Amino acid sequence: MTAVLFDFSGTLFRIESAESWLRAVLQETGLALPEGELAEAARALEEAGALPGGAAPVALPEEFAGVWAVRDESAALHRAAYTGLSRRVALPDPALHDALYDRHMTPAAWSPYPDAAQVLRTLRERGIGVGVVSNIGWDLRPVFREHGLDEFVDAYVLSYEHGVQKPDPRLFSVACAELDVDPRRVLMVGDSRPADGGAAALGCRVHFVDHLPVTQRPDALLPVLDLVG
């Protein structure tokens, strides 16, 4: 293998919990909810699928089906999809819905998996190219910079910047071109079989990890080092 492509959310990084997300925004805006109401609102937001990088909607309303299917193709669609779902949950101030969306784009909302730095650093030491291929509606580069991982990434290929989302092979093809590598000598690592599995259409080898909280997945990325040889 001459390069490894990584998914972002659920693979290298994990978003904070819905309760942490809501609590942080309430503190930033100077609003407060009793603990019981805060926990209930966080649960409702999670069930609605309002936290990008979090759980999918338990039941996707029909009126959101169209924008949900293409939400990662532009920044506007991404915001519309997630704030639309968020607004199905009553909060003490309507402005909180946009504030919540803005919060999830901050480095503080994300934590790298415990073994991410070790794996990325080792790949760099071995001369293996590294790309990040993500279905996303915003620029995740500051997250990598803030957590000290940007120096190990050679290329970022983000769906909203190209108007196409995984599993479309074109997104993986862009990544391979930016790294100047043959797809048949590339490993794609992700947590979504439907999305990340699209790399197989180009001849890439695909390896999956589980989308778990960082405390429950300390070393799932380490096998990548054996797979690249």
If you search the block for the tokens 């934590």, which residue do you land on?
111
Record the pTM. Answer: 0.96
By percentage, how much of the chain surpasses pLDDT 70? 100
Looking at the fold, whether 145 and 164 belong to one and the same domain comes out as yes
- Residue that is last in its domain, among 67, 82, 108: 108
Nearest Cα to Cα of residue 89 among 46, 32, 45: 45
Query: What's the mean pLDDT in 86-109?
Result: 97
Say whether pLDDT at 28 is over 90: yes
C-alpha to C-alpha distance for 229 and 224, rounded to whole angstroms: 9
Q: What pLDDT is attached to residue 132? A: 98
- Does residue 146 sit in the same domain as residue 89? no
175-184 mean pLDDT: 98
- The mean pLDDT of 187-202, rounded to a whole number, is 98
Average pLDDT, rounded, for the chain:
97
Please give the pLDDT value at position 217: 97
Per-residue confidence (pLDDT) for residue 167, from 0 to 100: 98
pLDDT band at 172 (very low <50, low <70, confident <90, very high): very high
pLDDT of residue 37: 97
**Each residue of 113-138: b (16+ CB within 10 Å) or e?**
bebbbebbebbeeeebbbbbbbbbbb
Distances (CA, A) of 210 to 8, 189, 227: 13, 11, 17
Same domain, 137 and 172: yes
The answer to whether residues 87 and 135 belong to one domain is no
| Residues with Cβ within 8 Å of residue 90, at least 6 apart in sequence | 41
Neighbours of 108 (CB within 10 A): 11
Of 58, 54, 53, 45, residue with least CA distance to 84: 45
Q: Residues 9-14: what's their mean pLDDT?
A: 98
Last residue of a domain, one of 58, 73, 108: 108
Give tens-digit pLDDT for 63-79. Answer: 999 999 999 999 999 99
Read off the pLDDT of each residue in 176-193 and give the average, rounded to a whole number: 98
What's 156's domain CATH number?
3.40.50.1000
Nearest to 14 by CA among 131, 124, 116: 116
Residue 155 dihedral angles phi and psi, to the nearest 5° = -155, 140
- Whether residues 122 and 202 share a domain: the answer is yes
Range of the domain at 41: 15-108
Please give the pLDDT value at position 229.
80
